[in-house]
Structure 1
Amino acid sequence: MVELVEQIRVVDTDTHVIEAYDLWTSRISVAKYGDLVPQVRWDAEAEQEAWYFGGKRIAYAAGSCMAGWHEYAPDRPRKLAEADPACWRAEDRLKKMDETGVYAQILYPNVAGFGAGRYLTLNDPELMLLCVQAYNDWVVEWAGIAPKRLIPQMAIPFWDIQASIAEMDRATKLGHKGIVLCGAPQDFNLPKLSDPYWDPFWAAAQERNLPVNFHIGTGDMWVFDMMHESVGKHASFAAVAPVLFTENIQVIVQLIFGGICHRFPNLKFVSVESGAGWLPFALESFDWQWLNSGVHKEHPEYKLLPSEFFKRQIYGSYWFERKSLHSALDAIGADNIMYETDFPHPTSMSPGPATIATSPREYIQETLGDVPRDVAEKLLWGNAARVYNLD
């Protein structure tokens, strides 16, 4: 039997680059900005390499390199050198992709936050913009070894709309295929997504045919304090992800009920690392409340139901689901769902001695081996090619 990954070029729509330790210090003047420039130092107390933004420790440097790691999260490599090189070196990433049957990866940032929120901790607008630009430059260089297989999504200085639009143009010329936007700007003292304040941003993205990606975990991350310490570190860590998976329901609600999909009908939105099984429930509840509360009367200009706006413009991604994947396909179809792995994060489809994960090759065959070929092609390739304008 020929495996699906040998028949269809698989696009993994959510992976993360592990930023080089000199990404910012090699591109931004340390002489001018000093310790404010993001950098890695050895944390003697924790005995780990750590990232410092504005002189404050914000993350352990190898903490996201869990692919193939021999301990359960939140235990992690202490140094980047202890992790699988495929986490951080492009040449090894391509080899890992070939082994697991993945042709291309959509690349998301890591250390500065999944929506660029950590740059705001620097409290210097000039430096914040330089940091965004340095990341966008670096990730294109990192992906340059195989630009049709490693596909960057740009960071945006979302605290300044005009600067964001300028960066859209600059980063697109570099080779970026989409935008990563914070899903909870109100957590950073900015207007909510449903505020018309953002209309110039949406208009610019639509005009440039750039999809807007909302990765989970871009807000204040209160969920990390959700559990009492008595439950243990592994239970506390494991409890976070299921809550975050459905976090983007707040984003989708604002896009639809806030009229953004109506006003910008050609703009595509992606809910990243969020799963697909909950989408049918969400869409049914949207339609019910829309009609039951008279939204169609209040806004007669909205000619579609929420589920119809979703099917026209919004996409979800999945990577571990089995039964719920198939129920989602039955309920909403295959046109708005894409496959991902979240490599190399703790919740990823990255098998190692301490996990139950299967490889993408095995998982894809197990879950899609019996579905119609056109359905498998949409989930694994076609939808991503359409959203990200891939060759």
Structure 2
Amino acid sequence: MSTNQPGQAATQSGNSFGELPKIISVDDHVIEPAHLFERWLPKKYHERGPKPVTTGIGRLEYTGASYKITTDPNGPPADWWFYEDLRFPYKRNIAAVGFSRDEMTLEGITRGEMRPGLYDPAERLKDMDVNHVEASLCFPTFPRFCGQTFSEAADKEVALACVRAYNDWMVEEWCGDSGGRLIPLIIIPLWDVHLAVEEIKRNRARGVTAVCFSEIPAFLGLPSIHTGYWDPFFETCADLGVTINMHIGSSSTMPAASPDAPAAVQASLSFNNAMASMADFIFAGIPARFPKIKLAYSEGQMGWIPYALERMDDVWLEHRAWAVTGEVLPEAPSYYFRRNMFACFFRDRHGVNSLDVIGEDNVTFETDYPHVDSTWPHTKKIAEEHLAGLGAETVYKIIRGNAIRMLDLDLDRDRVRVGA
């Protein structure tokens, strides 16, 4: 990519777009405060609900697809959630900002060792100010990326109450006093699509426009998106303008190669889930049947998208006699991507160089605070380096405009045509 587009002069900072717009990050994370369920879960469920515990952590063993974790009273202290048979510790790699790269390990961590911005909304806003970020959409940690923790629980009455409690905390406490800078992202009761629809409607009534969902629900033992089971959920989200956000790993399965491959293999291949999910949704006919649906792939990066679209279009055209049903997919897959889907990146030079194929209207930006991959507190510098050769309007779309349109945010109304 050339440094400047034709007819554009570089600024003193070396880019062609001037001052970087304030960032809207569509993929960050929150560490839940210890008081969450005590304060927001109805008292009748307290004994059966999640409980915060500080105790020692034993050895963490990576098994190729997951981690084996045990408590050890004599081990280093960590903050945990105890819920039914689940023992869930917070680890340094998911609470990494503020530590050096060599300190971002799988060791346990207490909230007292974390930056307060991980769990305190007022402190989060300060960390956003340091990082040139105006607004942030935060995924859960203890409930996992789409609420799998509660879906896997045995007592579904308590689990449903926990889902609602988490969402009440998210909307009223985490986002409530932020002046719109913290954007609410809710979870749903994955085990019952009709309860999920009710929760979408309950929260849309108080302004929520974003919901977590699994990239591949069949991997969670849930009905496939091809069965039609999820259609009421998809229809409700499309009709109410609620964006479905699918984080890598929201299927509780990360790509791997050999069963004994090191974690570096999994980390390098993490985008594969987003690629697989995109093909799954398109060929299931979800965007074809729900034209207003908005599907967002969080932390999936985007450099892989040009070939994925090329291949899907070739399959749609060349393999239609046996692999594709025209009634399900009357248009080429790339058409539905550009109309209904959003990619998200933080470091992806190849993707930026391929914007002409991906589409500048389909790209959003993230900081991944506070995970190992996070660009905090250097996000502005990294974004400027990635986008240096682009024009001001394209940079605006990537850094904030597309996120405003995707999430129907009450920002820049004079510049962004929401719903376009």
TM-score where L is the length of structure 1: 0.89
Q: Which residue of 1 aligns with 2:39?
A: 26
Q: Which residue of 2 aligns with 1:192?
A: 224
CA contact (8 A) 2:163 2:189 kept: yes
Deviation of residue 219 (structure 1)?
1.9
Deviation of residue 14 (structure 1)?
0.4
Q: Which residue of 1 aligns with 2:386?
A: 367
SS of residue in 2 equivalent to 1:320:
coil
SS of residue in 1 equivalent to 2:309:
helix
Q: Which residue of 1 aligns with 2:9?
A: none
Of the three residues 306, 325, 334, the one matched with 1:280 is: 306
Query: Which stretch of structure 1 is more off in the superposition, 151-160 or 74-83?
Result: 74-83
CA RMSD between the two structures = 2.3
Of the three residues 156, 159, 175, the one matched with 1:125 is: 156
Of the three residues 201, 223, 231, the one matched with 2:233 is: 201
Q: Which residue of 2 aligns with 1:82?
A: 113
Of the three residues 23, 34, 59, the one matched with 2:89 is: 59
Q: 1:7 to 1:342 in 2, by over 3 A?
A: closer
Deviation of residue 374 (structure 1)?
1.1
Q: Which residue of 2 aligns with 1:69?
A: 99
Of the three residues 252, 268, 288, the one matched with 1:220 is: 252
Of the three residues 173, 178, 195, the one matched with 2:210 is: 178
Q: 1:226, 1:151 → 2: CA distance?
A: 39
Q: 2:389, 2:218 → 1: CA distance?
A: 44
Confirm or deny that 1:138 pairs with 2:169: yes
**Superposed CA offset, 1:334-354 (max 9, x none):** 111111111101222235xxx
Letter in 1 for 2:123: D
Of the three residues 326, 332, 343, the one matched with 2:358 is: 332
Q: 1:59, 1:5 → 2: CA distance?
A: 44
**Superposed CA offset, 1:308-333 (max 9, x none):** 110010111000112x1223213222
Q: Which residue of 2 aligns with 1:356?
A: none
Confirm or deny that 1:38 pairs with 2:50: yes
Deviation of residue 63 (structure 1)?
5.3
Of the three residues 286, 303, 306, the one matched with 2:330 is: 303
Confirm or deny that 1:265 pairs with 2:291: yes
Deviation of residue 298 (structure 1)?
3.3
**Superposed CA offset, 1:206-226 (max 9, x none):** 111111111111223355896
CA contact (8 A) 1:74 1:237 kept: no
Query: Which stretch of structure 1 is more off in the superposition, 169-178 or 60-69?
Result: 60-69
Deviation of residue 170 (structure 1)?
1.3
Confirm or deny that 1:163 pairs with 2:204: no
Deviation of residue 5 (structure 1)?
8.9
**Gaps spanning 5+ residues in structure 2: where?**
1-11, 57-71, 411-420
SS of residue in 2 equivalent to 1:247:
helix
CA contact (8 A) 2:91 2:107 kept: no
SS of residue in 2 equivalent to 1:187:
helix
Q: Which residue of 2 aligns with 1:355?
A: none
Q: 1:239, 1:136 → 2: CA distance?
A: 34
Deviation of residue 33 (structure 1)?
5.3
SS of residue in 2 equivalent to 1:24:
helix
Q: Which residue of 2 aligns with 1:354?
A: none
**Superposed CA offset, 1:127-186 (max 9, x none):** 111111111111121112214211011111121111111111111233322111122222
Q: 1:180, 1:220 → 2: CA distance?
A: 13
SS of residue in 1 equivalent to 2:348:
coil
**Gaps spanning 5+ residues in structure 1: where?**
352-358
Deviation of residue 271 (structure 1)?
0.6
**Superposed CA offset, 1:331-381 (max 9, x none):** 222111111111101222235xxxxxxx11101111113211111011011
Q: 1:382, 1:146 → 2: CA distance?
A: 20
Q: 1:99 to 1:318 in 2, by over 3 A?
A: same
CA contact (8 A) 2:40 2:169 kept: no
Letter in 2 for 1:13: V
Q: 1:9, 1:83 → 2: CA distance?
A: 26
SS of residue in 2 equivalent to 1:41:
strand
CA contact (8 A) 1:63 1:78 kept: no
Letter in 1 for 2:96: M
Q: Which residue of 2 aligns with 1:251?
A: 277
CA contact (8 A) 1:261 1:267 kept: yes
CA contact (8 A) 1:209 1:267 kept: yes
Instruction: Count residues with an aligned counterpart.
Output: 376
Q: Which consecutive aligned stretches of 4+ in structure 1 deviate over 4 angstroms post-superposition?
A: 1-7, 29-33, 222-227
Letter in 1 for 2:204: T
Task: Compare the two structures and name the one with the higher helix fraction.
Answer: 1
Q: Which residue of 1 aligns with 2:62?
A: none
SS of residue in 1 equivalent to 2:270:
helix
TM-score where L is the length of structure 2: 0.83
Confirm or deny that 1:242 pairs with 2:268: yes
SS of residue in 1 equivalent to 2:296:
strand
